């Protein structure tokens, strides 16, 4: 991809290139207490740091993206957040994209504060993208969307999630006859219009939601942005599930696997083999013939 000197390369373009180079796989960094124990580490800040930086060291430069789950760092307080900052810096040094899975959502100046934290240049908590919640109204995401555009970063907006409770909101139909999920997808599509190879406003669509897109009238093919798909591997989603959920939009999918890869640790070679196998599997499922 040719870019004018000094030009900002949008997140969508950078992610598309990373997916082409490494396969459409994002590995979650989810330091559950049980995973720390399985790796022989204490459920402490020291264990958190050892676990997370081992993942970056093993997989940096080898996968399309890494996705640290903010909650597992926040549970350790300020020291845990400091580890998250280290993880993001280490991934940046390894030239690997990061999606901070923080699911932030609020209004006005509070949303602007979250945007400053996770999307502003110079913020130690800023990755390349962040997950956000639209359930205070899609328009409430304005500060995050504006800051992401200004800094060349991305956002992934919750749309169709795999938890059963999500249906109460996401499948609900408004007075215009349009479901919440379909409205979220349409508004993301409008923001991505004309972007090539794809826009920087992505959606979170669980890999195990079955026919939810069809049932809610959600047009994923029109989004023209990345579709982050948690649930691959340990949660049961394979080729059949990915095909059923995404159909013709499969080429936009960034499949996310956490325990399916992390469970192979703590050895670096074992993690790399697990990630390579997962990447090959999702490439075959999402980009047949590529």
Nearest to 76 by CA among 38, 49, 109: 49
Q: Active site residue: 39, 45, 85, 103, which one?
A: 103
Alpha carbon distance 33, 48 (integer Å): 9
Q: Which helix (H) or strand (E) holds 271?
A: helix 268-286
- Conformation bin of residue 48: beta by default, left when phi > 0, alpha when psi is -120 to 50: alpha
Apex 252 CA angle, 250 and 257, nearest 5: 80
Q: How far is CA 135 from CA 43, 107, 140, 186, 225, in A?
A: 33, 10, 9, 15, 20
Residue 67 annotated as catalytic: no
CA-CA distance, 215 to 187, in Å (whole number)?
Answer: 18
Please name the residue that has the structure tokens 């992401």. 148
Query: Mapping DSSP to helix (H, G, I), strand (E, B) and coil, where does residue 53 land?
Result: helix
Judge if the upstream peptide bond of residue 259 is cis by omega within 30 degrees of 0. no
Q: Which residues are catalytic?
A: 103
């Amino acid at each position: 991809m040719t870019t004018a000197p000094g030009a900002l390369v949008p997140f969508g373009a950078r992610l598309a290139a990373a997916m082409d180079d490494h396969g459409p796989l994002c590995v979650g960094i989810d330091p559950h207490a049980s995973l720390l124990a399985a790796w022989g580490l204490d459920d402490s800040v020291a264990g958190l740091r050892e676990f997370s930086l081992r993942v970056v060291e093993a997989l940096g430069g080898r996968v399309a993206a890494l996705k640290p789950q903010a909650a597992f760092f926040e549970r350790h307080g300020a020291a845990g957040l400091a580890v998250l900052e280290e993880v993001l810096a280490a991934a940046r040094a390894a030239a690997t994209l990061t999606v901070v899975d923080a699911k932030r959502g609020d209004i006005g100046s509070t949303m602007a504060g979250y945007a400053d934290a996770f999307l502003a240049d110079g913020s130690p908590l800023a990755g390349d993208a962040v997950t956000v919640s639209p359930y205070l109204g899609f328009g409430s995401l304005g500060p995050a969307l504006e800051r992401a555009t200004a800094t060349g970063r991305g956002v992934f907006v919750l749309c169709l999630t795999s938890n059963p409770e999500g249906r109460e909101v996401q499948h609900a139909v408004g007075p215009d006859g349009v479901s919440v999920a379909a409205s979220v997808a349409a508004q993301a599509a409008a923001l991505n219009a004309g972007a090539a190879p794809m826009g920087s406003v992505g959606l979170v669509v669980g890999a195990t939601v079955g026919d939810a897109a069809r049932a809610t009238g959600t047009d994923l093919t029109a989004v023209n942005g990345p579709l982050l798909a948690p649930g691959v591997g340990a949660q049961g989603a394979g080729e059949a599930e990915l095909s059923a959920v995404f159909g013709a939009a499969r080429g936009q999918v960034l499949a996310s696997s956490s325990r399916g890869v992390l469970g192979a640790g703590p050895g670096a070679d074992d993690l790399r083999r697990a990630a390579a196998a997962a990447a090959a599997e999702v490439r075959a499922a999402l980009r047949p013939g590529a």
